[in-house]
Structure 1
Amino acid sequence: MTKSQVIPRILVIQHEDGTGPGLVGEELTAAGLALHLVHPWDGDELPASLDGYAGLLVLGGAPNAEDEEAAPWLPAVRVLVREAVDSSAPLLGICLGGQIMAAALGGSVHVRSQGPEVGAVPLRRLPAADGDPVFGSVPEGAPAAQWHWDEIGALPPGAVPLLTGDDCPHQAFRIGPRAWGVQFHPEVLGDAIADWSLSDGPAVARAGGDPEAAVASVRGAEAELRAVWSRTARSWAGVVLGDGPGDRQDP
């Protein structure tokens, strides 16, 4: 089989049930990428390297980014994250995935003192978003679905902030030419947030949040969420496929 006939594979790390690639996965598949989902929480073994993969997608989940007791596979994820950055392999970290990137590369993650950020939250562009191959098209004030108790406290050295929010400053960043991390959930719509609310809603309420309002806000923003983050996922797929300005042309 020639190189042109090989379907590029993305290694997708899912940390728990109910947190799959969702909308992002749909767009990557539609772009011609194959997703290899690994479920370490269910006993799947993570590969030792990214050999044979065109990119790495690290999804969200409940564990803290450094809680190896709750998620004993985290050291292996950090190895893959560092390999991706060192080799300029395309990388996208979502929520916990973005936090793992930050912690693994010299930044920090902490529990939010103000309680969880949940629901559809407007984001603001930062100057470096202009011209970014993945987040350059995100409009000012675009809504993002949020559901997190922890947050990135400090970005890694050399990281470029791209998007911010009023209640959580580090919403999207780039490190190196082809690695991006986000604090929010571009992969989910209202049904996923409603499912998470069934299990996490009481804890959100005890922390002073309103889980029902969070679900309603995401449902109300679904059309814009789908439009903005589908486009962003397609842009990342373009980087993987070598179609965009962030691409690395392999020999």
Structure 2
Amino acid sequence: MTTDIKTVLVLEHDAGDPLLKMESWLSTTDVELDVRKLHQGDAVPESTAGFDGIISLGGDMGAHDDEIAPWLPATKALLAAAVLDRTPTLGICLGSQLLAVATGGTVVRAADGPEVGAYLTAKRDAAQEDPLFADLPMTPDVMHYHYDIVDKLPPGAVLLLSSTGYQNQAWRVGTAAWGLQFHIEPSAADLRKWADNENREHTARFGEMLDAAEAEMDQVWRAFIHRFVALIHGRVHPGLRLPLLAPDSDELDHIESAF
């Protein structure tokens, strides 16, 4: 019997933020990765054709820095197309901000300063009905390293995780695209390296609590990525059903007019 292998497109925006731990997590699943190193000149595909899922990673640039990162307009167009055609999509940190802008949300500089280090988030009620988030603990650990935030979610988006710092920590837009404002892919050592590269002081959030967060995250977010792969294969959480309806007309208008 042959294994049904699905192809996942990975959009790498920054050499300093590749798949990291997610590469190991995905290596045990029935997907193959098509990694596009956009920062090295790899092309953004013109459509989602040929891809069963998309992961858009983080990066040092902002969602509006098209002059600094000239591939961003094509990335945002692809993410908008993925929402419209219901290609399972996961945006992480910058990737979530690009997804938000692509579908009618807004991204701004965080008014109360950046979030960096280990943090707790909390599930919203809607998470209990979400095929990726239903099995998360009520207050999952995450790692942050961002200066910008998704200030307003795209029209029709469903908020799934919040925190005491900034509300829009994780959300779903359309039926199969998720944005995570935080990182799940780095180790504690990776995050400390990012801080060192910026000569950033190691606060308490980079101390023991960061190591504790890594240990917890390795269990929680590995399982999350495996659920994402299961969803790509059409296998969803028992008792839950991902809505298969296309976005309504108002959402379509916002997505198609985002540019």
CA contact (8 A) 1:118 1:211 kept: no
Cα distance between partner residues in 1 of 2:223 and 2:243: 17
The TM-score normalised by the length of structure 1 is 0.90
CA contact (8 A) 1:161 1:173 kept: yes
Look up the SS of the partner of 2:161 in the other structure: strand
Q: What aligned pairs does 1:1-251 form with structure 2 within 5 A after superposition?
A: 5=3, 7-202=5-200, 210-216=201-207, 217-244=209-236, 245-246=241-242
CA contact (8 A) 1:56 1:90 kept: yes
Two-structure CA RMSD over aligned residues (Å)? 1.7
Residue identity opposite 2:97 in structure 1: Q
User: Tell me, which stretches of 5 or more residues in structure 2 are unaligned?
Assistant: 245-259
Q: Deviations over 1:210-237 (max 9, x none)?
A: 4343332322322111111111111111
- Cα deviation for residue 28 of structure 1 reads 2.3
CA contact (8 A) 2:8 2:55 kept: yes
- Cα deviation for residue 167 of structure 1 reads 0.3
Cα distance between partner residues in 2 of 1:122 and 1:10: 29
Cα distance between partner residues in 2 of 1:247 and 1:77: 25
- Cα deviation for residue 177 of structure 1 reads 1.6
Which stretch of structure 1 is more off in the superposition, 162-171 or 189-198? Answer: 189-198
CA contact (8 A) 1:60 1:97 kept: yes
Look up the SS of the partner of 2:185 in the other structure: coil
CA contact (8 A) 2:4 2:30 kept: no
- Cα deviation for residue 5 of structure 1 reads 4.8
Cα distance between partner residues in 2 of 1:236 and 1:200: 32
Cα distance between partner residues in 2 of 1:240 and 1:246: 11
Residue identity opposite 2:71 in structure 1: W
Corresponding residue pairs, total = 239
Residue identity opposite 2:49 in structure 1: D
Q: Deviations over 1:20-48 (max 9, x none)?
A: 11223322231111111111111111111
CA contact (8 A) 2:119 2:205 kept: no
CA contact (8 A) 2:118 2:143 kept: yes
Q: Deviations over 1:146-165 (max 9, x none)?
A: 11000100000000000000
The TM-score normalised by the length of structure 2 is 0.88
- Cα deviation for residue 201 of structure 1 reads 3.5
Residue identity opposite 2:43 in structure 1: E
Cα distance between partner residues in 2 of 1:152 and 1:179: 15
CA contact (8 A) 2:66 2:72 kept: yes
Cα distance between partner residues in 2 of 1:85 and 1:28: 22
**Which residue of the partner structure matches residue 206 of structure 1?**
none
Cα distance between partner residues in 1 of 2:27 and 2:173: 25
User: Tell me, which stretches of 5 or more residues in structure 1 are unaligned?
Assistant: 203-209
Which stretch of structure 1 is more off in the superposition, 55-64 or 4-13? Answer: 4-13
Cα distance between partner residues in 1 of 2:113 and 2:202: 12
Cα distance between partner residues in 2 of 1:6 and 1:242: 11
- Cα deviation for residue 116 of structure 1 reads 1.1
Look up the SS of the partner of 2:199 in the other structure: helix
Cα distance between partner residues in 2 of 1:146 and 1:201: 16
Look up the SS of the partner of 1:130 in the other structure: helix
Residue identity opposite 2:26 in structure 1: L
